[in-house]
Amino acid sequence: MIVAFRRHTLLPLDDCLYALQPTIPHLTRSALHRCLQRHGISRLPDVEGDKPKRQRFKRYPIGYFHIDIAEVQTSEGKLYLFVGIDRTSKFAFTQLVEKAGKMAAAQFLRDLIAAVPYRLHTVLTDNVLAREQIAV
């Protein structure tokens, strides 16, 4: 009865236990699991479409930087943190500034280019403020 119920419903172990306990009052979780193991159905079969296909991360050439800006609250007041991270090497460069204007963004970009030991060829940002400032 247990095997037929499991094959028909494909319910997880605990759901099978709760559904079968009124009919089989002395059924325990461990006894149910041992019974299903003995008949080779303790693991539910994989159903197609259950899990999304695993994809590899997109490969980027070295020198592809993501740049962002964040507001940082300190005991002295508000500062702005510029961050640049290479997607391939994970090389990170940061800079704290008091004002996040076009001149500060341009200086951050110049400092980033000087600090990177290889050629920087692409700059990406999802922050509208940073995009306007770096476009200088």
Query: Domains plus CATH for the chain?
Result: 2-38 (no CATH), 64-134 (3.30.420.10)
Please tell me the predicted confidence (pLDDT) of residue 49. Answer: 63
pLDDT in tens, 24-47: 999 999 999 999 999 998 888 766
What token pair was written down for 48? 């197609």
What is the predicted pLDDT for the residue at 47?
A: 64
